[in-house]
Structure 1
Amino acid sequence: MSALDTTSCNSSNLQGFYAWTDTLKGIQYGPGCLEEALPNFLDLLGVKKVLIVTGRSLYEKTDVVKQVETVLKTRDAYGGVFYEISQHSPIAGIRKAQQVFKEADADAIVSVGGGSPIDASKAILYHIHKETGGPILKQIAIPTTLSAAEYTAGAGFTNEEGQKVAVSDLGLAPAAVILDAKLTLSTPERLWLSTGMRAVDHAVENLYRSLIPPPSKHLSYAALADLFVNLPLSKANPDDVNIRQKLQIASWMSFLPQKFRKYSAAGLSHALGHKLGAAYGIPHGITSCITLAPVVALMAETACHEDKEWLANAIFYLRIPSSGSLDKDILTLSDAIRGLVDKLGLTSTLTEYIVPKEDLPKIAERTLGRADGPLYPEVVKLLENMY
């Protein structure tokens, strides 16, 4: 079965495997928890000196990184800051950060920001590990968006050709995660809400991805219920730290850390987002706003019965009555996702990001890995409808 073949099922209802990531030692959450959590994790991990990895805007336009610096300096663990990580984590920034890490004589990274600095930190540590042959060093992740990169053992970054590539190792999963909602207050609204849609994307696609165990699917239902309620509330009340904390926890539930004995491919919406994002400069949260609702509608036509059941049952958690038809309920879920995107003011198209229509067959082929598969015509048509 192809990683994106939705016409047959690898059932995880009654058989499967679940384990926590080997690396993750703890997640501490709560408004204002940074000053307690960071020293605790430094001690727990035996870290002596860290390099902060972040983005330029967060470093220059907010005091978030300064707060992290202050805590590290009180513990004499500050090894400097690298703030040249940009969207989609270009390889040039990763290579430069590797050199800065060595010069600082650091033994760990504290990443601050969204998916780009967190994934870039995994890539930095991966390349250092390959270069030295030593163990993979540790990352403490302090996310300020809802993209959930902190819960995975893989990292995506952009190579010299502008293509998204990935590295993966269980040791790359952050060793500790700090969810302090106060540190998210300066996150721009569009970034905050669109990464919230990324979390919605995680939760929905977990319902039909292969090898996802039932407990994780039920957590995805809970995540969806909270995201659909609290994302609009956060837009209306951007300074409400409690709502932001609930959203950070919902993002966590949307992507419960786990390890797989076999590879579990991303769903179609994520796969399309990976191909569209780096090549055309579309933020990952926005790719989810564009791709998720149409992909869910396609599942009503192409998914196997078990996956349809998981998807259709999601509307119960959104307090939407069932029609009695799996296909119709999946289309209702698609409409609800589209409605949430509209409510958040995030409606976007491929036209806005100047994606040439002549590129669509190539995008579909790269997403599916082949141009002669059963879903290829449907995916090309799906992309055509995103303009």
Structure 2
Amino acid sequence: MSATHLNQSDSTNIRGYYSFTELKGLYYGPGSLATALPKFLDSLGGKKALIITGKSLYTKTDVVKKVESVLTEYGAYGTTFYEIGEHAPVAGIRKCIQTMRDSGADMIISVGGGSPIDAAKAVIYFLHKEHGGEILPHVAIPTTLSAAEYTTGAGFTDDDGNKVTVSDPRLAPAGIILDAELTLTTPDRLWLSTGMRALDHAVENLYRPLVPPPVKVLCYQALADLFKYLPLSKAEPNNVVYRQKLQVASWMSLWPTKYEKYSPVGLSHLLGHKLGARYHIPHGITSCLTLGPVVALKAETASQEDKEWLAGALFHLRQPSTGSVESDILQLSKSINELVIDLGLKSNLVQYKVPKEGIPDIVERAMSGKDDPTFPRVVKLLEDIYEQ
């Protein structure tokens, strides 16, 4: 085949597209909240901010109070909405939209994990859809490693318990603050499991459609840092340096990218979305369940190019090659499973009351039907981890 007949699906090595998101700036470092947030207030022109967060973070820690204090000092504090639940139920988003209207706020500050950050994006999406005009500025201050702040989509749970996603290139936050000191109150299990979610991003970006090679190389470094610093952070949970390293690794795992057209997530994420929304399993835990087995399946089903990207991870993990691409991928799968165990995060579907007879339906929803030839193998994949 001549070069003139190649298209994007033939090879991501030599043809593709890349553009940055609407992100105006990202500040990182312990203690950066106090200096970074005022700079964003000035650059984004916000006069009154609505904080969107979760109930536990608001009532059990002083993290949100610190953000409120900075906003108050600069005369930009509006109010705080803290009724965003896990997986961002749409009822909370509706209530938040009304709070936004009532407060007269002209910008949003999301504080917490993936649920409040995605909820903030969903609020912005629905308000813009209703009224048009400029997209509201959004500054994300994450306290987990879920990496929701780097995407242009927002995931939430509808009234029937299904995962729903809305997407717009303009939904990416305009500002991000990675202040590791604000993560010290994050529960260990949540911190470490969202680190596995970041690992899931990094691994799946090695074979996800439309991801350009430079981003894949960033994912290799993310993998190396996540494998190194997650166990260190577990051993020393108050070590701010380790936590800051992990926040940067999470950033590299899902580098802000504006795709020319929608790029679907990988199989581990697809399964996790359906399991998480329906059975109330935290997304970090779904990654612990599905990522290792999905990588093992890719050793058989992935394209040759995707296999080579996956196998290349061993070099960055400072592990020797086994001698074949497929065996290297299986070794990567094994290393992921061992990391889950080392972090104390091993679980199974029985613990979350997932009925075994419901597995084919979960897979059918994740794969948008049964036409994919790998459908039976993915069903078996979940059945194998049912009581692992």
Q: Into which bin does the TM-score normalised by the smaller protein fall?
A: over 0.9
Note the 1:1-387 alignment, pairs <5 A. Answer: 10-21=10-21, 23-387=22-386
> TM-score, with normalisation over the residues of structure 2?
0.97
Q: Quick one: distance in 2 between partners of 1:323 and 1:152?
A: 35
Q: How many Å separate the matches in 1 of 2:169 and 2:49?
A: 21
CA–CA distance in structure 1, aligned partners of residues 10 and 27 of structure 2: 34
2: distance between equivalents of 1:187 and 1:373? 39
**Shift of residue 371, structure 1, vs aligned partner:** 1.1
Deviation at 1:135, TM superposition (A): 2.0
Distance, in Å, in 1 between the alignment partners of 2:351 and 2:212 is: 38
What is the Cα deviation at residue 373 of structure 1? 1.8
After TM superposition, give the deviation of residue 11 of structure 1 in Å.
1.7
Q: Is the 8 A contact 1:51 1:106 kept in 2?
A: yes
Structure 1 residues 188 and 182: CA distance shift in structure 2, 3 A: same
**Paired residue type of 2:14:** L
- Kindly report structure 1 stretches of 4+ aligned residues shifted beyond 2 Å: none
Amino acid at match of 1:76: G
Shift of 1:386: 1.3
CA drift at 1:134: 2.0
Displacement of 1:9 after TM fit? 5.5
- Give the Cα–Cα distance (whole angstroms) in 2 for the partners of residues 270 and 372 of structure 1: 19
1:88 counterpart SS class: coil
Unaligned runs of 5+ in 2: 1-7
User: Offset at 1:372?
Assistant: 2.5
Q: Deviations over 1:222-246 (max 9, x none)?
A: 0000000000000000000011000
Cα distance per residue 1:56-91 (max 9 Å; x no partner): 000000000000000000111000000000100000
* SS of match in other structure, 2:246: helix
Question: Aligned pairs, how many?
Answer: 379
Partner AA of 2:138 in structure 1:
Q
C-alpha deviations, 1:279-317, integer Å up to 9, x for none? 000000000000000000000010011000000010111
Q: Which runs of 5+ in 1 are unaligned?
A: 1-7
SS at match of 2:109: strand
Name the amino acid aligned to 2:343.
L
More displaced, 214-223 or 8-17?
Answer: 8-17
What secondary structure is seen at the aligned counterpart in 2 of 1:352?
helix
Identity across the alignment (%): 65
CA shift in 2, pair 1:44/1:272, >3 Å:
same
Q: Distance in 1 between matches of 2:124 and 2:100?
A: 9
Alpha-carbon distance between aligned partners in 1 of 2:44 and 2:232, rounded to the nearest angstrom: 37
Cα distance change on mapping 1:261 and 1:156 into 2, 3 Å: same
Give the structure, 1 or 2, with the largest relative contact order (CA under 8 Å, sep 6 or more): 1
Amino acid at match of 1:44: S
Give the Cα separation in 2 of the matches to 1:99 and 1:303: 46
What is the match of residue 4 of structure 2?
Answer: none
Q: Describe the superposition over 1:90-124 as per-residue Cα deviations: whole angstroms up to 9, x where unpaired.
A: 00000000011111100111000000000000001
CA distance in 2, matches of 1:323, 1:58: 45
1:4 matched residue in structure 2: none
